Amino acid sequence: MGKLYLLIFLFLVIFGVLTISQAAGPIFIVMIMLLPETSTPNILLRRAQRLRKLTGDSRLKSQSEIDQKNMKPSAIVVDAIVKPIEITIKDPAIAFVNLYTAIVYGIYYSFFEVFPLVYPVYYGFSLGMIGVVFTCILIACIIGIATYCLYLWLFLIPDIKKNGLRAQESRLVPALYACFGPTIGLFIFAWTARPDVHWIAPTIGITIYGATVFVVMQCIFVYVPLSYPQYAASLFAGNDFLRSAFACGSILFGRPLFINLGVDKGTSLLGGLSTIGIFGMFVLYFQGAKLRARSKFAVG
- Mean pLDDT over 43-70 rounds to 82
Residue 149 makes CB contacts below 8 A (sequence gap 6+) with none
Query: CB–CB of 213/182 below 8 Å?
Result: yes
| In the predicted structure, residue 17 carries a pLDDT above the cut 70 | no
Is 102 a residue whose pLDDT tops 80? Answer: yes
pLDDT band at 25 (very low <50, low <70, confident <90, very high): low
Query: pLDDT averaged over the chain?
Result: 81
Task: Enumerate domains of the chain plus CATH numbers.
Answer: 95-290 (1.20.1250.20)
Structure confidence at residue 290 (pLDDT): 81
Q: What is the tens place of the pLDDT at every residue in 209-235?
A: 999 999 998 998 888 888 877 777 778
pLDDT tens profile 147-202: 999 999 999 889 888 888 888 888 899 999 999 999 999 999 999 988 989 999 99
Residue 12 has pLDDT above 80, yes or no: no
First to last CA, the chain: 59
Which residues, in sequence order, are CB contacts of 297 under 8 Å at separation 6+? 87, 90, 91, 94, 228, 230, 231
Q: How confident is the model at residue 132 (pLDDT cuts 50, 70, 90)?
A: confident
Residue scoring higher pLDDT (161 or 127): 161
Give the per-residue pLDDT at 298.
67
pLDDT value of residue 1:
47
How would residue 13 be classed by pLDDT, with cut points 50, 70 and 90?
A: low
